[in-house]
Structure 1
Amino acid sequence: MSKQRFSNDINIRNRQASFEYELLDKYVSGIVLTGTEIKSIREGKVNLQDGYCYFSAAGELFIKNVNITPYAQGTHYNHEATRERKLLLKRVELKKLQSKIEEKGLTLVPVRLFVNDRGFAKMEIALARGKKTHDKRQSIKEREAKRELNRIKL
């Protein structure tokens, strides 16, 4: 029994995002990748923690600081780990997001990276507002209360 190297059910989450931000609206976008990047994603070697999205001068959406580990069997064609990657959304969605981003305190953060049933890598991004310290404390209290209820039920 050998372990399959490339998994079919990739679902990489940014759990820190829901703690640091209040997620207002979610979008699923395509992502432009090179050949070795998709192989690393299928191996599950991705870190979304420091990632953020921004708009270029041409109105295109890019994601920065998402670490996709270089592919182990890659040659000199291997990719740079934290390069900027273009996100693919419909023009209407891009304009809507760009107008929302210009509001004070809103940002776009990566929430989840997954491979759909057709084999394409997709990025779920969320329009988010940063939480204050007291909001984070409230989140911790709610999480601990939920754990206590689960312990009692078991």
Structure 2
Amino acid sequence: MAKIIAKNKDAHYSYELVERIESGLELQGWEVKSIRAGKVSLRGAFVNFKDDEAYLMGMQISQYMAVQGDELRNRKLLLHKHQLKKLKQGVSQKGMSIVAVTLKWSNGGYVKVDISLARGKSKVDKRDTIKQRDISRKIKKQYNV
């Protein structure tokens, strides 16, 4: 079972997640140590394409001890060609983007990121999500009490 390191809670609220893909990350040594220490944030992380490769942008990994490194650097995603093609086709549709959802340790001890093809929600959809959440909480509370 994979251990979750960080979640992008804002992604579930702001986007309708269509399809999820697990991907590896190209990291430097100090970044892995910082992730192990829990000094990572996925808020605002998204995927962008450059030269037929996917890069994770906006993920912040705080510096580890005295290491001089860029906290917000673009990190290459390790994906198969068919996955890259599928993501590119999805992003080419209007209103679609790719966001990072969770960061986790795999069973082999590697850092993996779950990325999702997502469609942005409107304000009305966000309000509906909040209403549904409140209703489900009230129902659970009635059954538990």
In structure 2, what is the equivalent of residue 69 of structure 1? 62
CA change 1:31–1:138 in 2 (3 A) is same
Letter in 2 for 1:117: N
More strand by share: 2
**Corresponding pairs, count:** 143
| Alpha-carbon contact 2:5-2:35 (below 8 Å) kept | no
Q: Is 2:59 the counterpart of 1:59?
A: no
Taking the aligned partners of 1:26 and 1:108, their CA distance within structure 2 comes to: 9
CA contact (8 A) 1:51 1:109 kept: yes
1:96 alignment counterpart:
86
**What TM-score do the two structures reach when normalised by structure 2?**
0.94
Work out the CA distance in 2 between the residues paired with 1:51 and 1:9: 20
Question: Following superposition, which runs of at least 4 residues in structure 1 exceed 2 angstroms of deviation?
Answer: 8-11
1:28 to 22, 42, 49: 22
User: Under a length normalisation based on structure 1, what TM-score does the superposition of the two structures give?
Assistant: 0.89
Q: Per-residue CA shift, 1:69-120, capped at 9, x if unaligned? A: 1112x44xx4211000000110011011111111111000000000111110
SS in 1 for 2:131: helix
> SS at the partner of 2:124?
helix
Return the match for 1:46 from 18, 40, 50. 40
List alignment gaps of at least 5 residues for structure 1: 1-7
Residue 31 of structure 1 and its aligned partner are, at CA, apart by 0.2
* Alignment of structure 1 residues 5-154 onto 2, 5 Å: 9-56=3-50, 58-72=51-65, 74-75=66-67, 78-154=68-144
Q: For each residue in 1:5-62, what CA deviation from the matched residue of structure 2 results, as whole angstroms up to 9, or x when unmatched? A: xxx9443110110100000000000000000000111111111111111100x21000
CA distance in 1, matches of 2:3, 2:117: 25
Which whole-Å CA distance do the structure 2 matches of 1:138 and 1:69 have between them? 35
Query: Match for 1:68: what amino acid?
Result: I
1-side partners of 2:69 and 2:3: how far apart? 23
**Amino acid aligned to 1:60:** E
The separation in 1 between residues aligned to 2:3 and 2:103, in whole angstroms, is 11
RMSD: 1.3
* Secondary structure in structure 1 of the residue aligned to 2:114: strand
